[in-house]
């Protein structure tokens, strides 16, 4: 988990767990990426059905 957090978010887990600002920043980024992926999948589903 430590390696993944550092690679994808450029924040070590210790800093993530200690600093509220970093945690909020990371969670906002995750939410943004989730929504983008969801829209991408919805778009692909629409293209496949045609």
Q: What is the pLDDT of residue 5?
A: 79
Average pLDDT over every residue of 22-28: 95
pTM of this structure: 0.73
pLDDT grade for 24, boundaries at 50, 70 and 90: very high
Average pLDDT over every residue of 19-45: 93
Most confident of 3-12, 22-31, 38-47: 22-31
Task: Give dist(CA 6, CA 26) in Å, integer.
Answer: 11
**20, 33, 34, 43 from 1: Cα distances, Å:** 19, 18, 19, 31
Q: What is the pLDDT of residue 50?
A: 54
């Amino acid at each position: 988990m430590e390696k993944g957090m550092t690679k994808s978010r450029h924040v070590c887990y210790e800093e993530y767990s200690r600093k509220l600002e970093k945690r909020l920043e990371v969670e906002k980024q995750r939410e943004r990426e989730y929504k983008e992926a969801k829209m991408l999948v919805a778009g692909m589903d629409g293209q496949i059905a045609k």
